[in-house]
Amino acid sequence: MTSGGDSAGMNPAIKCCVEFARKQGFIPYLVYDGLRGLIDDQIFEADRERCSGILHRGGTFLRSSRSKRFFDIQFRQQAYENLQRRGIGQMIVIGGDGSFNALNQFYSDFGVPFAGIPATIDNDIAGTDYCLGVDTALNMIRQSVDSIRDTATSFSRAFVIEVMGRHCGYLAMVSALSSGAEICLIPELPYDLDKIGARLMEEKKHGRSYVLAIVAEGTRMSEPLTRWLTDSMNMDARLTVLGHVQRGGSPTVHDRIMAYKFSVGAVTALLEGQTNAIMTYKDGTFGTLPIDQVTSSRYRIDPDLLKLCSPLAC
Which of 28, 34, 40, 24 is CA-nearest to residue 89?
Answer: 28
Q: How far is CA 36 from CA 64, 88, 103, 136, 270, in A?
A: 8, 17, 13, 27, 24
Distance, in Å, from the CA atom of 89 to the CA atom of 114, rounded to the nearest integer, reads: 9
Distance, in Å, from the CA atom of 249 to the CA atom of 244, rounded to the nearest integer, reads: 11
> If DSSP states are collapsed to H, E and C, what string results for the chain?
CECCCCCCCHHHHHHHHHHHHHHCCCCCEEECCHHHHHHCCCEEECCCCCCCCCCCCCCCCCCCCCCHHHHCHHHHHHHHHHHHHHCCCCEEEEECHHHHHHHHHHHHHHCCCEEEEEECCCCCCCCCCCCECHHHHHHHHHHHHHHHHHHHHHHCCEEEEEECCCCCCHHHHHHHHHHCCCEEECCCCCCCHHHHHHHHHHHHHCCCCCEEEEEEHHHCCHHHHHHHHHHHCCCCEEEEECHHHHHCCCCCHHHHHHHHHHHHHHHHHHHCCCCEEEEEEECCEEEEEEHHHHHCCCCCCCHHHHHHHHHHHC
Q: Which of 122, 124, 135, 255 is catalytic?
A: 122
Q: Is 122 a catalytic residue?
A: yes
- So which residues are the catalytic ones? 122
